[in-house]
Amino acid sequence: MELNAPKPQNSTGSSKTGLSHSCRPQREFLAALAKARKPLLLGHVTPDADCLGSCLGLAGALREQGVDARVGLPPDCVAERLAFMLELDTAIPIERHVSPDSDRDSVIILDTATEKRINVGSTIAPPADAVRLNLDHHITNTDFGAYNWVDPHASSTCEMIARLIQELGWPISPPVASLLYAGIHGDTGGFSLPPTTAESLQTAADLVRAGADVTHIGEQLCRSQGRRDFELLRRVYDHTTVVANGAIAYSYLTYHDITESGCKPEDIDDQVSIPRALRGVRIAMLFSEGEPGVVRINLRGEGRTTVVELAQKFGGGGHPQSAGVRMKNKAIQDVIATVIAAAEEHLRHH
Ligand SMILES: [Mn+2]
């Protein structure tokens, strides 16, 4: 067993403001957080478990401190399999519409690498003068907030929030513990992917002690597949193709596949784990056409192979071994041909 696991590569970037990405929040960030009395918490488009867990978990913890925190979530953007997370703490207000003249004094953006990925839909427009705080663990985060705390070593944004709450000495209620645990579970692939560190396991253990419902979260995230999701996976298996002597496996879902299965674009989440699970695969990809002409690519690297550079080449970003791209006005088969060629080239160098 390797006790000193290799650190993720390129994991300390310098920000545009000259501040280094850091595993502890800076004093200025904490001061700005303490000033937020009516914050709106926002995550990224197609929210995953870490995104929902961090928005709802931090909002819940702030509310327990008497702060009027609210989560902004456009209508119909949550995957069916993650909808249970909205029920974990029903005391947290979820705003589907926010107008520029609302009373929100600040916006806390969580788990979101770039400004264009903030999940505002067409219904959320916070006041222009609201102070923006940016808390995230993506290595490609652009430090777009007035105050930024980015830690690419953290397994998840939920792990950062759990550490933050512990540092501030706030209590963690069972619902908040469950929300944060679900996010860590999600981003570590059920504590099995490289971001699973001793620290993330320790934080998860602290959350279990605080009352996180391990069985309920495990059942909901791993053993509650709906028929529509199942039908979608059938197609992912059917369309899986292996190239580069087995080192690259990919699949695709056309707009037709998604709608015929009864799914929606927001249900595309971690289906890339199907081609990824093939033995010998170093790069796995899922190409999906959530809406006609818009192609999303989920990329995963196995072993020591990183994929974030490949994602960046096409305008995307993410983590070293888990990244994404969104391309507009492209035919899915053209995107597949171009990206597979680039992935084969990438493998020669990584
Ligand atoms: Mn995350």
Class in CATH terms, 27-222: alpha beta
DSSP string over 89-150:
-TTS-EES-B-TTSS--EEEEES-SSGGGB--TTTB---TTSEEEEEE--TT----SSEEEE
Q: Give the distance (Å) from ligand 1 centre to CA of residue 328.
A: 24
> Could you tell me the distance, in angstroms and rounded to a whole number, from the CA of residue 155 to the centre of ligand 1?
7
- Give residue 50 CA to ligand 1 midpoint distance, Å: 5
Distance from the alpha carbon of residue 215 to the mean position of ligand 1, in angstroms = 21
Q: How far apart are CA 228 and CA 235, in angstroms?
A: 11
Element (H, E) at 86: none
Q: How far apart are CA 68 and CA 237, in angstroms?
A: 46
Q: Which helix (H) or strand (E) holds 181?
A: helix 174-187
Q: Which two tokens stand for residue 227?
A: 């028929």
Task: Report the distance separating Cα 222 and Cα 214, nearest Å.
Answer: 12
Q: What separation in Å is there between the alpha carbon of 101 and the centre of ligand 1?
A: 30
Residue 336's DSSP bridge partners are none
Question: Half-sphere exposure (CA, 13 Å, Cβ side) for 172?
Answer: 30
Neighbours of ion ligand 1 (CB under 5 A): 50, 111, 156-157, 187
- What is the overall mean pLDDT for the chain? 93
Element (H, E) at 285: strand 283-291
Distance from the alpha carbon of residue 180 to the mean position of ligand 1, in angstroms: 11
- Tell me, yes or no, if the two domains 27-222 and 227-349 fold the same way: no
Q: What is the pLDDT of residue 168?
A: 95
Listed residue (133, 135, 75, 79) closest to 104, CA to CA = 133
- Percent with pLDDT over 70 in the chain: 94
Ligand 1 centroid to 314 CA: how many Å? 21
Note the pLDDT tens digit of each residue in 170-229. 999 999 999 999 999 999 999 999 899 999 999 999 999 999 999 999 999 999 989 999
**What is the DSSP track for 306-324?**
--HHHHHHTT-EEETTEEE
Identify any residues that bridge with 44 across adjacent strands, giving them in sequence order.
Answer: 118
- Beta bridge partners, 46, equal none
pLDDT, residue 21, reads 60
Mean pLDDT for the stretch of residues 29-42:
98
Ligand 1 geometric centre to CA of 329 (Å): 27
- Extents of the domains making up the chain: 27-222, 227-349
- Nearest alpha carbon to residue 79 among 213, 214, 182: 182
Determine the distance separating the centroid of ligand 1 and the alpha carbon of 156, expressed in angstroms: 5
**For residues 51 and 79, is the Cβ–Cβ distance under 8 A?**
no
Expressed in angstroms and rounded, the spacing between residue 145 Cα and the centre of ligand 1 is 17
Give the integer Cα–Cα distance in Å for 187 and 249. 21
CB neighbour list of residue 55: distance below 8 Å, 6 or more residues apart? 41, 42, 43, 47, 71, 73, 110, 111
| Domain range 227-349, CATH architecture | Roll (3.10)
Structure confidence at residue 22 (pLDDT): 67
Over residues 345-350, mean pLDDT: 91
Question: Where does 223-282 show beta strands of DSSP type E?
Answer: 241-243, 248-253
Q: What is the distance in A from the centroid of ligand 1 to the CA of 187? A: 6
Each residue's pLDDT tens digit, 45-86? 999 999 999 999 999 999 999 999 999 999 999 999 999 999
Query: Does pTM surpass 0.75?
Result: yes
- Rounded Cα distance between 327 and 277, Å, is 25
d(CA 18, CA 149): 13
* Span 99-138, pLDDT tens digits: 999 999 999 999 999 999 999 999 999 999 999 999 999 9
DSSP helix/strand/coil, 71: strand
Distance 51 CA to ligand 1 centre (A): 6
pLDDT for 269 equals: 87
Tokens of 235: 């197609």
